[in-house]
Structure 1
Amino acid sequence: MKQTILPLLLAITSISSFAQPVLETGPGMPAEWIDKATGHKVVRLTNNGRNNLSFYFHNNPFVGHNMVYYSSAKTNAPRAAKVETYNAVGNDKQLYLLNLENRQSERLTNHPAPMLGEIVSAKRNEAFYQVKDSVFAVNLSTKKERLVYVFPEDFKASITTINADGTLLAGARATDEEKQIFKNNPSKSDYFNKIYEAKLRRTLFTVNINTGKLDKIFSDTAWLNHIQFSPTDPALLMFCHEGPWHKVDRIWTINVNSKEVKLIHKRTMPMEIAGHEWFSADGKKIWFDLQQPRGATFFVGGTDLATGTETKYQLQRNEWSVHFTSSPDGKLFAGDGGDPNAVAKAPDGKWIYLFTPNGDHFNAEKLVNMKQHNYHLEPNVHFTPDQQWILFRANFEGKEDIYAVEIKPSMVNSESMSFP
């Protein structure tokens, strides 16, 4: 890999040895710059005149040096609700493939109907998505599309994840009553409590990609959501009991073969919350935003799946983030910050953060000034596979685009960006 990339790196650095501009991050940025407040280089990875959004924080978008993302026709219409998973309907919303070595993009899909799903399988070199009741896959090399599965009339559901060996898709089926609540209340502030209080049945399922077999694996009147397969164990599926976090023991797993269900974190005090959970890259831990109690003391917590042992790292109010993530080697964490209206009520929380564990707490470093970003769009950070950059999405330039910030601080005469 290093040998094939070296000529590209030499070409980039030889023509881009001039000083990077040092600017306050906000409207009208060049293709790359050094954030004046942090000293870290930031680059815009998309620039096609469309709205471009990277995946939700726990959905892996990477296959080798490529990243899958969504792009939709630009519109000036205001959004009715927060953009969390980008499953909202977009104008000409399609999947694209970004080469992180040269920042070139290719269009992967051409569907006139809205699509959803942020599902990439490195094992299969495919991206999966759903259009109405049909599940498709597109090969990231050949761009060939295939029909994978069509949901039957009596079980209309949505896929959200693929397992580690690329054999199973999984998701949840909602009742028609629940779908009607969503339709009548499109804003999260309107539907969130209504769905929780309705106690409508949801059913977890898997679809065998090779055989087309549908398996209904678990059903409950809890709001089953945030369904994620382990990145290493093909049989382990994580899900949550959605709803007001201080009212639910949220994080659960199920073995899709044995159907054994386990609670991952039990709340220990009134108003404690835990959520926005994700697997570590090695599949050994589940990490989550932990507040004991809500809005007062902030941690990133983690549960060892083999032993049940819990770890927690404390952070300051301004360092709390809408979403956290961990690096591929598990040694670093990152957060996408938050505005003063979020749960932490942080007066100065609008930053992309790098966190280094130090005993029982995090040492925090600010990477990007997000003061010009509207957190109506959640940035959703991802470490690149080489752990040299953190990707995020932002709207500080007036539309939605994907950016990367270099973890290593930059000198003013820093060389142009590359992804070794």
Structure 2
Amino acid sequence: MLSALRIVSLLGVFSLGSSLAVAQATPPRTWVDKDTGHRVYRLSDEPGSSGFYFNVNAYSPDKKLMVYTAPDGIHTLELATKKTRLLVANAPRPATGDRPGFRGGVRTIVVGSKTNSVFFTKFDPETEANTAYKADLITGAVTRLVALPPRASITSVNADETLAAGTYDENEEDVAKEYGGNRPLTTPGAPNNAPPQAGNLVQPEGKGAMMERRLASRIPVVLYTINLKTGSVKELLHSTDWIGHLLFSPTDPQLLMYCHEGPWQKVDRIWMIHTDGTHNTLIHKRTMLMEIAGHEFWGLDGRTIWYDWQYPKGEDFFLAGYNLETHRRTAYHMQRNEWSIHFNLTHDLSLFTGDGGDPGQVAKAPDGEWIELFRPREIRGEGALDDPNFWQPGVFESEHLVNMAHHNYKLEPNVRFTPDKSMVIFTSNMFGASYVIGVDVAKAMDAKPDEVVSTPELASRFNPSKPTPTPNDK
């Protein structure tokens, strides 16, 4: 019986003149990246499937399941066996009119920290309201929670699963101005048979210009929480700043991180507020022209906020951390080719990972298209002057995990570790359609000769289109 990689090799013999047939073939289940020595897996079967945004919890509290999404709905992945199943079905995509995420479809929020539940919203035709639900990851039972206020969304659920947080526009007429609100279903000019892509992980066309317009609009918005049992709404903040990227602490149910959206060089982005509306606090104050800080995320122990820090933009690169208990600030330096769009880490802070970036991203890295593994090393100066207010320096010692040269970075990979630290999981469109992909942290020790292949060459057999650099317009 032919192995999956042998079948791929045979496909590669055929003329690329029959590229449509090649592109429609099923990508291999596993291979070993020739350039890195690490084993790679295709974890999802559904074209257009996707992992979560990098800073949103996707794992069940017992660490046995991961949740991902696909055009047909919400799926679970059993980490031990790599078996998947459809948990919550999406409504069929309408031929015209509203996107399913706004009328018939489910919009996944987060996997709960307390119970084996995934939280999501969908439009309720009976009440004509956007409504919050949760689904049991084991039984699939769906529970209706609460209807959201008019024009409102939720984007995070707190650690004890009692509150959700979101924003809404104060005025109906401002809804049409919202960033991404009128994003088309497909990329303008893309053929009808274009491979399906991973939803909201794909950067929209003209993102930079849209961000400038949205920031300048000064739309009055409300940052709020809603009690998931009673429906009681608590207004935390009224603002004409652009508020987004809400993310509850993974351990403190009363602590919410959020950001001031917009071009990063124009905003002090990273903020924190308590659920009673007090202690509205800026986490990182910029002090240099063109300094930027963003793509913030929580350490898994809830003690530290981490973020991409460039001092200044596009020239010097750090992953910075702020410890909420000690107020200690850490900055791990990296080289241009090591910079990534998103970063993530293990619970014990022993390993970090990044998803790389093409030459069109802010780092303009000539060789940055890799899934990276980082081992942090602190810099200690014996006898050097130190101070509680000093940044504590370090560097990343990097190792390539996957060659992403055939990935189109308009879809951001959004890396995360599995809870046992054995694998890094991300989303890729290297095969044309997007899939959830995993790579072992340890190098492969049992690879057969026909399993060791160049990942870009393998991907090109299914997706002959060469990726083009993303525009540096953010």
TM-score by length of 2: 0.75
Instruction: Quickly say closer, same or farther: Cα 1:97–1:214, change in 2 above 3 A.
Output: same
Among 49, 54, 58, which residue is 1:52 paired with? Answer: 49
Does the 8 Å CA contact 1:328/1:383 hold for their aligned counterparts?
no
Q: State whether structure 2 residue 368 is matched by structure 1 residue 349.
A: yes
Q: State whether structure 2 residue 350 is matched by structure 1 residue 331.
A: yes
Among 369, 390, 394, which residue is 2:424 paired with? Answer: 390
Does the 8 Å CA contact 1:160/1:171 hold for their aligned counterparts?
yes
Among 280, 285, 294, which residue is 2:304 paired with? Answer: 285
SS of 1:193's partner is: helix
1:21-54 deviations in Å (ceiling 9; x for gaps): 9x99x98752111100000010110124x32100
The aligned amino acid for 1:131 is K
1:305-339 deviations in Å (ceiling 9; x for gaps): 12322110110101111111111212211100001
Among 158, 177, 184, which residue is 1:181 paired with? Answer: 177
Does the 8 Å CA contact 1:19/1:413 hold for their aligned counterparts?
no
Does the 8 Å CA contact 2:334/2:395 hold for their aligned counterparts?
yes
1:267-294 deviations in Å (ceiling 9; x for gaps): 1211000000000000110000000000
User: Which residue pairs with 2:244 in the alignment?
Assistant: 225
Does the 8 Å CA contact 1:199/1:223 hold for their aligned counterparts?
yes
User: Which residue pairs with 2:105 in the alignment?
Assistant: 114
1:32-91 deviations in Å (ceiling 9; x for gaps): 11100000010110124x32100000001001211111011xxxxxxxxxxxxxxxxxxx
Q: Distance in 2 between matches of 1:251 and 1:361?
A: 23
Instruction: Quickly say closer, same or farther: Cα 1:111–1:399, change in 2 above 3 A.
Output: closer
SS of 1:408's partner is: strand
Q: Distance in 2 between matches of 1:46 and 1:238?
A: 31
Q: Distance in 2 between matches of 1:149 and 1:111?
A: 19
Q: State whether structure 2 residue 278 is matched by structure 1 residue 259.
A: yes
User: Which residue pairs with 1:159 in the alignment?
Assistant: 154
Q: CA deviation at 1:263?
A: 0.6
Q: State whether structure 2 residue 331 is matched by structure 1 residue 312.
A: yes
The aligned amino acid for 1:54 is G
User: Which residue pairs with 1:5 in the alignment?
Assistant: none
TM-score by length of 1: 0.84
Q: Distance in 2 between matches of 1:57 and 1:32?
A: 23
Q: CA deviation at 1:20?
A: 9.0
Q: Distance in 1 between matches of 2:173 and 2:398?
A: 44
User: Which residue pairs with 1:7 in the alignment?
Assistant: none
Does the 8 Å CA contact 1:108/1:140 hold for their aligned counterparts?
yes
Q: Distance in 1 between matches of 2:109 and 2:148?
A: 18
Q: CA deviation at 1:258?
A: 5.3
The aligned amino acid for 1:69 is Y
Gaps of 5+ in 1: 1-17, 73-91
Q: State whether structure 2 residue 259 is matched by structure 1 residue 240.
A: yes
The aligned amino acid for 1:158 is S
Q: Distance in 2 between matches of 1:19 and 1:374?
A: 24
The aligned amino acid for 2:427 is R
Does the 8 Å CA contact 2:113/2:250 hold for their aligned counterparts?
no
User: Which residue pairs with 1:269 in the alignment?
Assistant: 288
Q: Distance in 1 between matches of 2:58 and 2:32?
A: 26
SS of 1:400's partner is: strand
User: Which residue pairs with 2:200 in the alignment?
Assistant: none
SS of 2:430's partner is: coil
Q: Distance in 2 between matches of 1:174 and 1:374?
A: 34
User: Which residue pairs with 1:413 in the alignment?
Assistant: 447
Among 40, 43, 54, which residue is 1:42 paired with? Answer: 40
User: Which residue pairs with 1:105 in the alignment?
Assistant: 84
Q: Distance in 1 between matches of 2:351 and 2:407?
A: 24
Q: CA deviation at 1:178?
A: 4.1
Q: Distance in 1 between matches of 2:257 and 2:43?
A: 31
Q: Distance in 2 between matches of 1:307 and 1:319?
A: 29
Q: Distance in 1 between matches of 2:32 and 2:333?
A: 29
Does the 8 Å CA contact 2:151/2:175 hold for their aligned counterparts?
no
Aligned length: 373
Instruction: Quickly say closer, same or farther: Cα 1:115–1:324, change in 2 above 3 A.
Output: same
Q: Distance in 1 between matches of 2:221 and 2:440?
A: 41
Q: Distance in 2 between matches of 1:202 and 1:407?
A: 43
The aligned amino acid for 2:39 is K
SS of 1:62's partner is: coil
Q: Distance in 2 between matches of 1:239 and 1:406?
A: 32
Instruction: Quickly say closer, same or farther: Cα 1:147–1:29, change in 2 above 3 A.
Output: closer
User: Which residue pairs with 1:208 in the alignment?
Assistant: 227
Q: CA deviation at 1:179?
A: 2.5
Q: Distance in 2 between matches of 1:185 and 1:403?
A: 26
SS of 1:196's partner is: helix
User: Which residue pairs with 1:87 in the alignment?
Assistant: none
Q: CA deviation at 1:348?
A: 0.8
Q: CA deviation at 1:184?
A: 5.2
Instruction: Quickly say closer, same or farther: Cα 1:184–1:166, change in 2 above 3 A.
Output: closer
The aligned amino acid for 2:54 is F
Q: CA deviation at 1:192?
A: 1.2
1:230-277 deviations in Å (ceiling 9; x for gaps): 001110000000001011110000011352111101112110000000
C-alpha RMSD over aligned residues: 2.2
The aligned amino acid for 1:30 is P
Does the 8 Å CA contact 2:43/2:82 hold for their aligned counterparts?
yes
